[in-house]
Structure 1
Amino acid sequence: MKRRSPLEITRAVVFALLLREMRARFGQRRMGAFWMLAEPVIQLIVMTVLIGIIRGRSDIQAIPFPVFLLSGIAPFVMFRGVATLIMEGLAANRGLFAYKQVTPMDTFVARTILQCSLSCISYLIVALAFAWYGYDMTIAHPLEWLALLAVGVGLSFGLGMVLAVVIDLLPELRTFVRFAFLVLYFSSGAVFPVSRFPSYVLPYVQWNPFLHLIELIREAAFPFYRVLDVTSLAYVLASTAILLCTGLGLFKVRKNRMLAIKGIV
């Protein structure tokens, strides 16, 4: 039997975990495959249409408001999904860690791939629907747009690892974390234009790295979009690096204890 390299073992484990995650979602109810894609699509459409109706038909910097909303809501939903799935990854897959080949990091990677894939497919479906309706859905700088999305996934991955360690130590904080994501959502500019925020609020919300990220994503998507002066790519990259290093450090320090507490050595 051919001896496999560590990379080949990791790739096989991540692929198996990815299939397991998909099967778990498919098998939870009837027509699981349909609802797996339909739920995020319906969520994006309903949120975009409802908020657009409440907000009115006024454009934001010559951008139709539904398109403006979609450009912020879709990335944030993907980033939040990555962070929350990683946060719950330890509890959902703890029984598998008895196998030496399976590590918590493998489950984090598999869940990230699944969430990103679903989010991309959902966004594509909604974007095609908007284009069919008559909206211009072209991306002005596609490579920059994709690079910023990748940075956002890295930011969410680091945040998810930090939260996974914190939640394993203090499970009662789950409710607080979900409320914190709600605050991050509304302060990120995904729903409400940052330019409309009161001046006394900006010094506080600009600490939210997702605000900078959403603004930069919109700048890459729309050719004439003007971001706020406080927007900083360097801040987003620094936040990503800090969260990734902190997450990896905390995970390395507490890895054995987290698994041993549950009876896994």
Structure 2
Amino acid sequence: MELIRQHARVTAALMIREMSTRYGGKPGGYLWALFDPVAHVVMLTLIFQTIARLPALGTSFPLFFATGYLPFHCYQTMQSFVSGTIKSNKALLSYPMVTPADAVSSRYLLQASTSFLIVIIVMNVVALESDLTLHIDLASAAGACFLATLLGLGVGLSNIALFARFPIYEQIFGVVMRPLMLLSGVLFLPHLIPHPFDDVLLFNPVVHAIILFRKGVYPEYWAQGLDLNYLYTFTAISVFVGLSLFTFSARAMREG
């Protein structure tokens, strides 16, 4: 019990430190965290409104792109933030009370809460701007965001260990991930892609998180291609593999 209390105290202290270093030194603080998703939604809306009369779903371009980009943002920012945990907290790991697990926990909790806050704010802004009344299925929408953060956590944990052992992997991973937004269904509905490319896209678990989120926002959306069992299984395996690699590498992280 004492170890749990110590872990909670250290994690809380690290969260405060992360908030201070990540947002405290920038004008506007948390407003900077909103800039990326808002900028992407606005940019995509301006581009596609010039080439299409209606989005692939519904009548609002901002809403369509927000429902695609926000769950993707939950995954991408979590994966990136967790992957950099050890590099950013190297000096603190020299203290016996601070463990790599504390650093990861603080980053996950901070980024998850930030991502959920961003989703709530952006969705409300889009609804007001488009004069829409949304009937959101909170279970589907919140579940999609939560699963996206867990998936990001699993990938991030694996990356911590693999980046430390194989420096070239970090470069390869960065290159491979660049087109991920285009391959995750942010800009389109996967079932509208010609066969067999639609089936190939569905191997990407982020696609299923986005479909689930859109299903929670659009009551009329049939969510073709959504496989919840695949999303749950892939996320669970990702977290398990990430935790295993992270645990086996914990001592090397502290000593390296």
Normalising by the residue count of structure 2, what TM-score does the alignment of the two structures yield? 0.90
Partners of 1:85 and 1:132 lie apart in 2 by 31
Question: Is residue 2:254 matched to residue 1:249?
Answer: no
1:17-36 pair list within 5 angstroms: 17-29=14-26, 31-33=27-29, 35-36=31-32
Q: Give the unaligned 5+ runs of structure 1.
A: none
Q: Aligned partner of 2:185: which letter?
A: G
* Aligned match for 1:159, one of 155, 160, 165: 155
Aligned to 1:150: 146
Aligned to 2:13: 16
1:1-265 pair list within 5 angstroms: 5-29=2-26, 31-33=27-29, 35-136=31-132, 138-228=134-224, 230-260=225-255, 262=256
Q: Give the 3-state SS of the residue equivalent to 2:29 in structure 1.
A: helix
Moved runs in structure 1, 4+ residues, more than 4 A?
none
Partners of 2:61 and 2:55 lie apart in 1 by 5
Cα distance, 1:183 vs structure 2 = 2.7
Contact 1:13 1:102 in 2 (8 A): yes
Cα distance, 1:14 vs structure 2 = 1.2
Contact 2:184 2:207 in 1 (8 A): yes
Number of equivalenced pairs: 256
Partners of 2:178 and 2:131 lie apart in 1 by 29
The 1:252–1:125 alpha-carbon spacing in structure 2 relative to 1, beyond 3 Å, is: closer
CA deviations on 1:155-188 (whole Å, 9 max, x unpaired) are 1111110111111112233333233223322111
Cα distance, 1:149 vs structure 2 = 1.9
Q: Give the unaligned 5+ runs of structure 2.
A: none
Q: Give the 3-state SS of the residue equivalent to 1:129 in structure 2.
A: helix
Q: Give the 3-state SS of the residue equivalent to 1:199 in structure 2.
A: coil
Partners of 1:145 and 1:129 lie apart in 2 by 16
- % same residue: 24
Which range is displaced more, 92-101 or 136-145?
Answer: 136-145
Which range is displaced more, 125-134 or 34-43?
Answer: 34-43
Which range is displaced more, 88-97 or 122-131?
Answer: 122-131
Partners of 2:147 and 2:219 lie apart in 1 by 21
Cα distance, 1:54 vs structure 2 = 4.6
Q: RMSD over aligned Cα, in angstroms?
A: 2.2
CA deviations on 1:172-208 (whole Å, 9 max, x unpaired) are 3333323322332211101222133221312322210
The 1:187–1:111 alpha-carbon spacing in structure 2 relative to 1, beyond 3 Å, is: same
Partners of 1:184 and 1:232 lie apart in 2 by 19
Contact 1:57 1:65 in 2 (8 A): no
Which range is displaced more, 243-252 or 129-138?
Answer: 129-138
CA deviations on 1:99-149 (whole Å, 9 max, x unpaired) are 222111222221122222322333333223222223425243112321232
Partners of 2:60 and 2:66 lie apart in 1 by 10
Partners of 2:152 and 2:34 lie apart in 1 by 23
Contact 1:127 1:137 in 2 (8 A): no
Partners of 1:249 and 1:52 lie apart in 2 by 43
